Amino acid sequence: MSPHVTSADICICICMTPVEKLATELKFVNKLKRNVKHEYGTSSSLRAEVNVDEELREIFRFKDTKISNWIIENKARALCVRYTESNKDNRQQILRTLASRYAVQHDDICQVAKRLVCTEPENERQMIVHEKTLKNVLTPAYHWLFVIIGRLQHGVKFLVDLRTDVLELISDVKDADESIIIQQLNHYLRDLLLLWFSVGFLHMERVTWESACDILQKVSDYEAIHPMRNWLDLKRRVGPYRRCYIFMHPSMPREPIVVLHTALCDVIPDSVKGIEEAETRILGSAKKYITFLEEDKSKIKAAIFYSIVSTQKGLQGIELGNYLIKKVASEIMTEFPAIQQLSSLSPIPNFKTWLFDKLKQDMAFIFTTHECRIAKDILQTENVIVALKKILGTSLWTGDKQLSEFLKQPLLRACAWYLYKEKRRGYALNMVANFHLRNGAVMWRINWMADPSPRGVANSCGIMVNYRYFLEDSEKNSRNYIEHFVINATEGVTNLAMQAEKLIVL
């Protein structure tokens, strides 16, 4: 135990309330951080005289030696502390150094490859030796450092955050050659995290109001689709007729990796308000309070996945949410045998941005000639595009019944085209649509004014989508989409898309 942390710091946590315990735990963590700084050094701004390049060289001198892992890990730990306390510019310089100086050496690869090609296939022993050597030179030196860091306490979390910084650096880099080597660093780090975050290493945990305070706080903080208004709102979302599940990783304790919120309803709702209305119908009263044991299982016919969030930006490109949905679906259908309908109630990020781009190109992409005339009358202007951009820039228009009714058909039509027809490399352009379609869901229903909140209107003019999961067909749908780019959608969605197509063709 560190001489700066006494047993009293640990034992004092006993017999406390959850809030007091959380506060004490935070003080304990802060004390540990101070100890790490004392042991491995102060912030980078106060240690400018220490050269990061030299620190890296010193660590990499230990590669392929027989020196004790304790020494190597202590050096790596000090580097992690130095990196964590550095500002953005210094961090990016460290990443650039790693990516350029400790990447694969192309000359070595060419030499080993030539020796391998010149070896007679019959000389199996020599072939194996050269193949092993080739494998080694094809692995960058920083891969070794990442493995060392992964062994440290909180090392995996450090690498996840490191990849967040790498992804940010990629977006900042303008030079094409430098971009390539940073991309290579990103790919190796992603592949390593892909192995460590295999779904077999994750465990699913249900969150209730009785869960630890820090977990509840993180569930609230990470909610990006429907932000928590207050603690009472959070209590409702983890209470009866709701289910909240998270994925956790043993190397990142007390850190939710994916959070999935599910509503238990009698029908598939077509709006956020519809979820609350379903709960009221089941309870018979909006204010009635019950416990989990008092839930009426016979009335629960549908499970609605209304929010799923991957909390770690550094795990971008590593599919985990789809596995959580499958596990939660199995768990809920076991608990509630009457459930026959599984569906999402999903947002449509970037739809409004796409809509404005289309309006800028040609208003005829969105509105018919007749609708254009009506728009001019309602808005009382000849410049409909400018007026619409100004009006749709806020959520106030949703309270104008005449304008809202007029916009309903054109925007639903445009949204259907955007979801069903707009593609990137053969797959749905919208990332939420792509996620659910890859999982084998059906684009089931597009809902007008499903989320009239300022956030919902800002993203997608208040429109949301139900992606429905038919478990018996999910594998077939997923394969058709991934292998043949086929989007499985209902007639209602395709009819809307066809109406939009007629406008675009004209």
**Residues carrying an active site annotation:** 346, 436
Judge contact between 352 and 388, C-beta under 8 A: no
CA-to-CA separations, 288 to 263, 280, 283, 291, 295, in angstroms, rounded? 17, 9, 7, 10, 12
Strands 203-207, 242-248: parallel, antiparallel or unpaired by DSSP?
antiparallel
DSSP 366: T
CA torsion sign for 445, 448, 453, 458 is: positive
Residue among 17, 172, 162, 44 nearest 98 (CA):
162
Residues facing 249 on adjacent strands:
252
Could you tell me how far CA 489 lies from the centroid of its own chain? 24
SS3 content of the chain, % helix, strand, coil (to 5): 60, 10, 30
- CA-to-CA distance for 499 and 66, rounded, in angstroms? 70
Judge contact between 256 and 277, C-beta under 8 A: no
DSSP 398: G
Provide the token pair at 468.
């429905």
Strands 302-310, 258-265: parallel, antiparallel or unpaired by DSSP?
antiparallel
- CA-to-CA distance for 37 and 85, rounded, in angstroms? 10
The amino acid that residue 146 corresponds to is: F
Residue among 406, 420, 409, 503 nearest 463 (CA):
409
End-to-end Cα, the chain, rounded Å = 75
Q: Which long-range contacts (CB under 8 A, 24 or more apart) does 332-335 make?
A: 332/243, 332/262, 332/264, 332/303, 333/303, 335/297
Residue among 225, 463, 444, 452 nearest 354 (CA):
463
Give the 3-state DSSP-derived string for 60-99, with helices as H, strands as E and coil as C.
Answer: HCCCCCCCCHHHHHHHHHHHHHHHHCCCHHHHHHHHHHHH
CA-to-CA separations, 211 to 62, 206, 234, 293, in angstroms, rounded? 44, 9, 12, 17
Residues facing 467 on adjacent strands:
443
